[in-house]
């Protein structure tokens, strides 16, 4: 009696079999669903679509700081929108005499502080600026001797909110910025 001799399984043969198996799986399930699963893990659907029926697929930044453009976005917003609006208010401007730093220093230090507190990568304080000014972290020390009353702080936060709205920042992110500013109120008030 003759038995058919089985041929030894060569590594080459295993490779071709594996490729054939992958092709078969993709053909059955469809490459689209494989890709869709991948996309689902990386992307969140935002509710903020123009039409509620048309959800748009965009990569949504995790932190408020990232959505505001990080340090550079926040700095540009402060320099171009918030500070001019704040300083055009006579009551607020009256507290900005005898500065120990330049207005640009204030924008840079405040931008880093906000970026940090809103989940960005900036340092909260201690950064040495080109002018030689070192950003400070203590609200009472920064505002010491200025006697800034509560209502002026309220106006300050309101103006920043109005400018953020004009700049197209979302309501939720404006609330997050206001919350960070509110948390500093006690350190700024009447120091």
Near ligand HEM by CB under 6 A: residue from 16, 80, 96, 165: 96
In the bound state with ligand HEM, the residue whose beta carbon lies nearer, of 142 and 169, is: 142
Q: Binding marks (x or -) toward ligand HEM, 119..158, rule CB under 6 A?
A: ----------------xx-----xx--x-x---xx--xx-
Q: How far apart are CA 175 and CA 99, in angstroms?
A: 29
Q: How far apart are CA 131 and CA 150, in angstroms?
A: 31
Residues whose CB is less than 8 angstroms from the CB of residue 177 and which lie 6 or more positions away in sequence, other chains included: 64, 68, 114, 118, 160, 161, 164, 169
Near ligand HEM by CB under 6 A: residue from 66, 92, 167, 178: 92
In the bound state with ligand HEM, the residue whose beta carbon lies nearer, of 33 and 138, is: 138
Structural element, H or E, at residue 56: strand 56-58
Binding site residues, ligand HEM, CB under 6 A: 92, 95-96, 99-101, 106, 109-110, 113, 135-136, 142-143, 146, 148, 152-153, 156-157, 181, 184-185, 188
């Amino acid at each position: 009696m003759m038995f058919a001799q089985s041929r030894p399984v060569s590594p080459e043969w295993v490779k071709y079999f594996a490729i054939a198996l992958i092709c078969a799986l993709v053909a059955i399930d469809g490459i689209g669903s494989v890709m869709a699963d991948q996309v689902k893990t990386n992307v969140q659907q935002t509710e903020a679509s123009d039409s509620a029926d048309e959800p748009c697929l965009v990569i949504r930044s995790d932190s408020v700081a990232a959505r505001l453009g990080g340090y550079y976005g926040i700095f540009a917003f402060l320099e171009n929108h918030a500070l001019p609006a704040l300083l055009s208010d006579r009551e607020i401007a009256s507290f900005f005499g005898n500065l120990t730093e330049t207005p640009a220093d204030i924008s840079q230090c405040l931008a880093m502080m906000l970026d940090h507190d809103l989940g960005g990568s900036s340092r909260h304080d201690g950064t040495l600026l080109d002018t030689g000014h070192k950003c400070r972290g203590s609200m009472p020390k920064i505002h010491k001797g200025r006697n800034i009353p509560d209502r002026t702080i309220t106006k300050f936060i309101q103006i920043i909110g109005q400018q953020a709205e004009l700049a197209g920042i979302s309501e939720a992110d404006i609330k997050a910025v206001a919350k960070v500013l509110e948390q500093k109120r006690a350190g700024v008030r009447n120091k």
